[in-house]
Amino acid sequence: MLINNDTIIKDDDSLIRQKSVDVALPLKEDERAVLMQMLKYVDDSTVEEIAEKENLRPAVGISAIQIGIPKKMTAIILKDAEGNKVCEYALVNPKIVSNSLEKAYLESGEGCLSVVEEHQGYIYRSARVKVKAYDALQDKDILIKADGYLAIVLQHELDHFKGILFYDHINKADPFYKDPDALVIE
């Protein structure tokens, strides 16, 4: 399956709002292959030469619905400034099992492979989350304790399973409202 900027479902397509369903485990080989292709997209998308050649937009995560598959699968890779992987997940049926009351937001705002138009404003999410999932890379059930940027990324990707896009969270009356109690992630 070819995944690039032309094949990713955009927000003007009603499919992006479809709810995703759980995936039966053990993973079928075709589902594992799709998940690994999603992971490859995320990994390659931050390498400038590959991204340009293959028409990839930079990403830290992608969910299956973004390639037209309404299943609860997501691939996430966070890298440091030198391009080294800080964390890498190929998650199936991830679910937030607890979250902090404290909120956090990205000062630069959020973006999405499925959203072409810019949507400015702050998106408040839980500063910390615990996520249970099956990780296809480790071939086992895991518990991720995430805070900061990873917590934001996980919540963004899991929103896709409910047909929610990041800009749905922006306060329409005051998009740049600053909650003084929220953690700012730069």
Q: Where are the domains of the chain?
A: 14-185
* Residue written as token pair 């998009």: 175
Catalytic residue ranges: 157
pLDDT for 34: 98
Is the pLDDT at 182 greater than 90? The verdict is: yes
Q: Is the link from the previous residue into 26 a cis peptide, with omega within 30 of 0?
A: yes
What are the tens digits of pLDDT across the range 9-58?
A: 999 999 999 999 999 999 999 999 999 999 999 999 999 999 999 999 99
CATH of domain 14-185: 3.90.45.10
- Other Cβ atoms less than 10 A from the Cβ of 22: the count is 11
pLDDT band for position 1 (cuts 50, 70, 90): confident
> Quick one: average pLDDT of 109-136?
97
119 and 25 Cβ atoms separated by less than 8 Å: no
Contact status, residue 74 vs residue 157, Cβ threshold 8 Å: yes
Closest by CA to 150, choosing from 128, 120, 183, 121, is 128
Instruction: Give mean pLDDT, residues 108-119.
Output: 96
- Average of per-residue pLDDT values in the chain: 97
pTM, entire model = 0.96
